Amino acid sequence: MIYLVFAHPYPSQSRVNRALLDAVRGLPGVEVCSLYDRYPDFDINVAAEQSALSRAELVIWMHPVFWYSVPGLMKQWFDKVLNYGWAYGDGGAGLRGKDCLWVATTGGKVETYAAGGIHRRPFVEFSRPVEETALFCGMNWQMPFILHGAHEIDEAGLAAGARQLRERLEAWMEAHAGAANRADGQP
Ligand SMILES: Cc1cc2nc3c(=O)[nH]c(=O)nc-3n(C[C@H](O)[C@H](O)[C@H](O)COP(=O)(O)O)c2cc1C
């Protein structure tokens, strides 16, 4: 199972994240949790989230970048769900060994994330807190899927991005099914 945690405060107004989500939500084994739909009052059901995560082999965190970071409810989800004794610390192995894919969109184009650009630093510098969160919980950090330039991307570019994300997940599923078959003794 792939558990896709989606955090957009206004899902109905989203253009880019919606296209990415639509491209993957129908894939077999993908379970989507739209945080702002499920927990509009920020009262996260921790047991339900941990139960879903336990069943997942790949966890996806998908959201627009807000102030170089995750939207507020995604941070709340980190704070509540990834708790001591479950995600880290004594007996905290709930996420250990699971793959983690970060899917994020930025308004800024890729060239704005560079020395001399408006955001001054390569985007990878802003990714570290999310990456370290996954690593701290013993997850396997996958190469992030970042779609830059969300404000100006045209329909063809958006369709290409959505297709690339879908292909990324399909490749993961194929590799994973291969590994599962080998574990079963199948060729
Ligand atoms: C509160 C807020 C903060 C934002 N902060 C950033 C930012 O730090 N860097 C950036 O490149 N874009 C930023 N943006 C732009 C969003 O990332 C962009 O609107 C989003 O990726 C578009 O996706 P959507 O079509 O799914 O809404 C911000 C937007 C909002 C509303």
pLDDT for residue 97: 98
Q: What angle do CA 70, 73, 78 make, to 5 degrees?
A: 75
32 and 2 Cβ atoms separated by less than 8 Å = no
* pLDDT tens readout for residues 96-146: 999 999 999 999 999 999 999 999 999 999 999 999 999 999 999 999 999
Question: Which domains can be identified in the chain, with CATH numbers?
Answer: 2-183 (3.40.50.360)
CB atoms within 10 A of CB 70: 22
User: pTM for this structure?
Assistant: 0.96
pLDDT in tens, 10-29: 999 999 999 999 999 999 99
With the most atoms of ligand 1 within 8 angstroms of its CB, the residue from 67, 110, 123, 124 to mutate is 67
User: How many Å lie between the centroid of ligand 1 and the Cα of residue 92?
Assistant: 33
CA 103 to each of CA 22, 106, 124, 137: distance values in angstroms, whole numbers, following the listed order:
14, 10, 13, 18
Q: How far apart are alpha carbons 35 and 29 in whole angstroms?
A: 19
Pocket probe for ligand 1: among 105, 112, 120, 126, the residue whose CB has the most ligand atoms within 8 Å is 105
5: enclosing H helix or E strand: strand 2-6
Q: Coil, helix or strand for 16?
A: helix
Amino acid 183: pLDDT: 64
Question: Do residues 149 and 89 lie in contact, with contact meaning Cβ atoms separated by under 8 Å?
Answer: no
Q: Are strands 2-6 and 145-147 parallel, antiparallel or unpaired?
A: unpaired
pLDDT-derived band of residue 177, with 50, 70 and 90 as boundaries? confident
> Can you say whether residue 116 is alpha, beta or left, with left for phi > 0 and alpha for psi between -120 and 50 degrees?
left
C-alpha closest to that of 45 among 5, 101, 10: 5
Q: What angle do CA 102, 107, 113 make, to 5 degrees?
A: 80
Determine the pLDDT at residue 166: 98
pLDDT of residue 140: 98
* pLDDT grade for 186, boundaries at 50, 70 and 90: low
Other CB atoms within 10 Å distance of the CB of residue 42: 12
Is 9 a pocket residue for ligand 1 (Cβ < 6 Å)?
A: no
